[in-house]
Structure 1
Amino acid sequence: MRALSFFIVVISATFTLSVNASLSLDTAVQDALDNDHWVLSNRYSENAMRADAIASGELPDPKMRVALANLPIDSFDFNQENMTQLQLGLSQQFPRGNSLEVRQQQLNLMADLKPLERQNRRALIKKQVSQLWLQLHQTQEQLVLLKRYRYIFDELIAVSRGNYRSGKIQRFELLDAELQLTRFDDRVAALIQRKAQLKRGLSEWLSAESQTLSDQLPTSLPELAFLLSIAELEQDHLLNHALLNHPVLRQVDQTIAIREKGIELADEAYKPGFKVDANYGYRDEMESGVNRDDFFSMSVTFDLPIFPEKRQDAKRNAAINQREAAKEQRLLKLRSFKAQLEAELADLNGINQRIKIYDQQFLHKLSHKRKAAIKAYSTADAGYKDVSAAAMSELETKLVHIELLHRRALTEIKINYLLSGLDTQIQSASHSVQQEYK
């Protein structure tokens, strides 16, 4: 008996968990971040760049030369002529100045862009998944509201049929009520279609387990916290610090550093490059047995950048212009982020004011109007258009209220994306793999 009771408790708990299981916003975002395979691709690219940086900092391989020189073709006798020799040579190229070191530093700076790209990718995923989740949640709540309001239109049809049988209304008024219900059902079908589309869009980012949970979202909206409070956003130094730490702007800063190394690399082109050659020539004894001395020769070849106007100067000017272009991009991006943030804050303020009006006045008055209209219609003191307009007005207002609540959450998501340089969830799991190459 005790075993049976335990079995029933386990089954009940399992059933309760399966019924109550739902996909929260935090779970959806974290699942999408954990299952993003783009991050692996980006890490491999960083590994490749760091490996290239190591290779680029090394001298070119030395070259070896083996030659049989001045062999007489009449006898092919190695010791016949004094100039016949077996030569062994080595040569080594030395690039201009510190160009190898500077190029290695530049490639490492380019590799340092990859962790910033991963941070921005995580910020974009968090924004995208949050938007899809909120849109899906809005559709779910609007469907719940429509299904809850269907009884009103069913009641109106029942009253219309009673009034029609008693001769209080014309047949076209009864048809209006039935058409109103048909339009209502069409609206429900459209929302069901949109919900299916949003689920497919959200499933792109989720694991298979989370996709099954997306069939049912929590009934209440999560409370979203700003990464900076409204009071802190009004302080320029805090706002600038937050925006300048955004991964997009940090990528631009990193690009400027890369361009600086490009200028240093162009400066190294004014220095000469060297090539050292060393050769040893072995000679055999004469036919008479007299020894011949072997030969050793060494040479240094270097280029002379004495006409820099159309080569070195032009490349340096190009590098400087690239750096200045990156600085202008940084300024433009910062202005754009500030403008977007101001626009979102203004939108948020307007949405909050509208929600306050809906909560304090609009919804309450429309509910009273709808109830009074239905009561008057049941006694034939009001026409169907009056009661239908009252019911639809209340329904539309509640649908707009749901939309406003979700628009506010969407605006908060957009604001947090602009402040994502302060988001610890974005910064985690985006560290560099530089340690592997030290």
Structure 2
Amino acid sequence: MSNYSVPEKVGTARLSKIRDLFALCFVLSFCLMSIKPVEAQTLSLEQALQLAIQHDPLLKGNAHRKDRFNAEAEASSYWANPQVSASVQNLPTDGFAFDQEPMTQFKVGLKQQLPRGDENLYSQQKYQVMADQMSVESQARKAWLKREVTLTWLDWVYATRRIGLLDKEKSLLTQLLDFTDSRYSQGVGAAAQQDILQVRLALLSLDDKYVQAYQQKNEARSALSKWFGAPLDDSVSAPLTQSTQDAIEVDAILNDSNLSLSSFLTVVESIEPFSILQHHPEATLLKIQTQIEAQNLNIAREQTKSQWAFEASYGYRQDAQNGASRADFVSLGVQVDLPFFNKSRQDASIAAAASKMSASETDFRLKVNELAANAEVLKSRLSALTERKALYETALIGETQQLSEAELTAYTTDTGDIGDVVNANLKQVQVQDDLLKIDIERARTLASLAYLYLPTHAHFSNKE
């Protein structure tokens, strides 16, 4: 009996250790389940646009400038301040007595200068137009902000997702290295040391791609933070979903227009740009500038008209020293300047104002042509990118995946080369990277088209 007692104790000890191990695993699993993972906060395109518009100092400055021009328009409608004068006239120097001489009097006068022609009316209209210009400039600024923030945000998203593709490429190469190293150490097939070195070389070249991608990511992140007035928090990251067009969130820039992406593309394709872009804020600003110059021309023409001033005064005289009564005096007068002697200077001022207005009209036409030509280029680019996107999604991705599987199968059966396997895997990731570039460039093109068409669409929607 004593021979079986020892194994019995050993078995009991093992069971005890096993129970302790299970208990420890249960405790660890419970602890791991109780720990909540820290989720990084992502910054969507819609959030980035809202923050940029909310913190833009130029928009706030335009609001103050608009208030200023409205106040100046009201102030310019009034006449100049009347002038009041008071004087003691003809006071004798031998006695300085106010009742000594009959010419001595205390005189109070009032003078009112009138505007030159309709100068005040044109000045008021000018400032009202300048106030409207601030509103249009704010619209142009918002559209410009949306485009610039979208482009910067897309650069950030591209760099972030490219790092994900590099991680995938690194995982494939690491698995291939382990597989090749195992075959070489076991002497299986035709695996050679140069196969291992070739995979390691591919991994080393991958490090340089990482450096470039992280540099692009950090630069885009820093460029994006300038729109918010402060650096982005370290916990904020770019969206990392795998879908392409929906993940890029191009629809966010269409929110204010109540247009879907398909409806927006229909508007872009159906409307002739040279006509609709005349109402773009950039062109409208030049049109408003022409209106301002027209008011300046009207003001210059009013300078050829005479300026009138009316005055009235009352002179008080004290009674004489012997008690004789002295009558008081009332004076009325009119003043008018004679601008006819400076006709050459006035004609030159009018000609300068007219030339400036004509130059603004020319700038407006040049701006419309520039915007329309840019729209045509973007439409052509979008069409080509859409075709390339369809080609990659329907053919290239599937073909490269089949090629990668075929090369790996051939190498496993000793009928293929390790270089072909590496190149096939790299080609598969490269195609995905190219597709990501196409999606990002397509989104950038849509953002630029939205900058051109959405403000004009809003203009016609408001008119309806």
TM-score, normalization: structure 1? 0.86
**AA paired with 1:253?**
K
- Give the match for residue 250 of structure 1: 284
**AA paired with 1:329?**
D
1:283 paired with 2:300, answer: no
Q: Mark the CA change 1:311 to 1:24 in structure 2 (over 3 Å): closer, same or farther.
A: same
**AA paired with 1:195?**
K
Q: Select which of 124, 138, 146 maps to 2:144.
A: 124
**Equivalent position SS for 1:382:** coil
| Aligned mates of 1:185, 1:375 — CA distance in 2 | 28
1:27 paired with 2:47, answer: yes
| Aligned mates of 2:351, 2:370 — CA distance in 1 | 29
| Aligned mates of 1:162, 1:320 — CA distance in 2 | 86
Give, in angstroms, the shift of residue 35 of structure 1.
3.2
Higher RCO structure, 1 or 2 (CA under 8 Å, sep 6+): 1
Partner deviation per Cα, 1:271-314 (whole Å, 9 max, x = no partner) = 11012222222122222111222222222110122235422211
- Give the match for residue 303 of structure 1: 337
Q: Select which of 90, 95, 100 maps to 1:70.
A: 90
| Aligned mates of 1:397, 1:325 — CA distance in 2 | 51
- Whether the 8 Å CA contact 2:222–2:231 is kept in 1: the answer is no
Q: Mark the CA change 1:15 to 1:115 in structure 2 (over 3 Å): closer, same or farther.
A: farther
- Give the match for residue 303 of structure 2: 269
- Give the match for residue 437 of structure 2: 403
- Whether the 8 Å CA contact 1:203–1:211 is kept in 2: the answer is no
- Give the match for residue 249 of structure 2: 222
- Give the match for residue 174 of structure 1: 196
- Whether the 8 Å CA contact 1:199–1:214 is kept in 2: the answer is no
- Whether the 8 Å CA contact 2:41–2:236 is kept in 1: the answer is no
Alignment size in residue pairs: 414
- Give the match for residue 343 of structure 1: 377
| Aligned mates of 1:213, 1:324 — CA distance in 2 | 54
| Aligned mates of 2:289, 2:233 — CA distance in 1 | 39
After TM superposition, the structure 1 stretch with the greater mean CA deviation from structure 2, 103-112 or 36-45, is: 36-45
1:151 paired with 2:171, answer: yes
Partner deviation per Cα, 1:38-82 (whole Å, 9 max, x = no partner) = 322211111112112222221111111111112122211111122
Give, in angstroms, the shift of residue 37 of structure 1.
3.4
| Aligned mates of 1:32, 1:278 — CA distance in 2 | 60
- Whether the 8 Å CA contact 2:129–2:292 is kept in 1: the answer is yes
| Aligned mates of 2:221, 2:433 — CA distance in 1 | 20
Aligned CA-pair RMSD = 2.9
Partner deviation per Cα, 1:205-239 (whole Å, 9 max, x = no partner) = 348898577414151233534596445445456x4
| Aligned mates of 2:173, 2:240 — CA distance in 1 | 28
Q: Select which of 380, 404, 423 maps to 1:389.
A: 423
1:362 paired with 2:396, answer: yes
Give, in angstroms, the shift of residue 94 of structure 1.
1.0
- Whether the 8 Å CA contact 1:227–1:422 is kept in 2: the answer is no
| Aligned mates of 2:240, 2:191 — CA distance in 1 | 44
Q: Select which of 188, 192, 208 maps to 1:186.
A: 208
**AA paired with 2:139?**
Q
- Whether the 8 Å CA contact 1:68–1:87 is kept in 2: the answer is yes
> Which 5+ residue runs of structure 1 have no aligned equivalent?
1-11, 429-438
Q: Mark the CA change 1:314 to 1:175 in structure 2 (over 3 Å): closer, same or farther.
A: same
| Aligned mates of 1:236, 1:123 — CA distance in 2 | 20
Q: Select which of 117, 125, 134 maps to 1:114.
A: 134
- Give the match for residue 224 of structure 2: 202
After TM superposition, the structure 1 stretch with the greater mean CA deviation from structure 2, 304-313 or 200-209, is: 200-209
- Whether the 8 Å CA contact 1:243–1:418 is kept in 2: the answer is yes
**AA paired with 1:222?**
E
Partner deviation per Cα, 1:3-58 (whole Å, 9 max, x = no partner) = xxxxxxxxx9x969x73853322232223223333322211111112112222221
Q: Mark the CA change 1:185 to 1:98 in structure 2 (over 3 Å): closer, same or farther.
A: same
- Whether the 8 Å CA contact 2:56–2:227 is kept in 1: the answer is yes
| Aligned mates of 1:226, 1:243 — CA distance in 2 | 20
After TM superposition, the structure 1 stretch with the greater mean CA deviation from structure 2, 197-206 or 244-253, is: 197-206
- Whether the 8 Å CA contact 1:25–1:133 is kept in 2: the answer is yes
| Aligned mates of 1:73, 1:89 — CA distance in 2 | 24
- Give the match for residue 19 of structure 2: none
Sequence identity of aligned pairs in percent? 26
Q: Mark the CA change 1:276 to 1:207 in structure 2 (over 3 Å): closer, same or farther.
A: closer
| Aligned mates of 1:182, 1:235 — CA distance in 2 | 51
| Aligned mates of 1:246, 1:163 — CA distance in 2 | 66
**Equivalent position SS for 1:54:** helix
> Which 5+ residue runs of structure 2 have no aligned equivalent?
1-32, 242-246, 252-259
Structure showing greater Rg: 2
After TM superposition, the structure 1 stretch with the greater mean CA deviation from structure 2, 357-366 or 28-37, is: 28-37
